Structure 1
C-alpha cells in the first residue's frame, strides 16, 4: 500500500552511493504518505465520541482532585515547617 520510511527516503542504489532525492520528490513522497495514513483513520460514531468525552472528563477531574489534595498537603507541611 505505502512505502516504509526507510524505503521511501533511500532506494537500494541511492543509499549505497549517498544520493538523496531532490526536495520536491521528498515533499511529494511526504504528501503521499500523509494521504495514505489519513485514509486509515476511522471516524468514531456519535456514541463512541460521547463515551470518549466522558472518560476524558472523568480522568481530568480525578487528576485535578489528586493535584489539589497534594497541593493542600504540601501547603500544610510548609506551614508546619516555616510557621504562620
Structure 2
C-alpha cells in the first residue's frame, strides 16, 4: 500500500489524506463542504411554514396545560400532607 493521498469514489477524502493537507487547504475544503451542504437544504413553502408554526404552538399549549395541571395537583397534595 502506498502513502499517496487517495480519494474515495464519492469525492470525499480519506482521513489520512486530510492530515497531509496544509492548513489553508483544509480551511478551503471545510468551506466548500459547507457550501455543498447548504445547497442541499430544502426551504419550506409559506403554507408548510404556517402549518409547522401552528403545530408547534398547539404542542406548546398542550404541554403547558399538562405542566400546570401537575403543578396544581402536586400543590394540593403537598397542602394535604403538610397541612
The two structures share one fold, judged by TM-score above 0.5:
yes
CA distance in 2, matches of 1:68, 1:21: 57
Higher relative contact order (CA 8 A, sep 6+): 1
TM-score normalised according to structure 1 size: 0.72
Shift of 1:31: 1.2
Structure 1 residues 32 and 76: alpha-carbon distance in aligned structure 2, compared to 1, 3 A threshold: same
Matched positions, count: 74
TM-score normalised according to structure 2 size: 0.72
Looking at secondary structure, tell me which structure has more helix per residue. 1
Q: Which residue in the other structure is 1:51 paired with?
A: 51
Shift of 1:20: 4.7
Unaligned runs of 5+ in 1: none
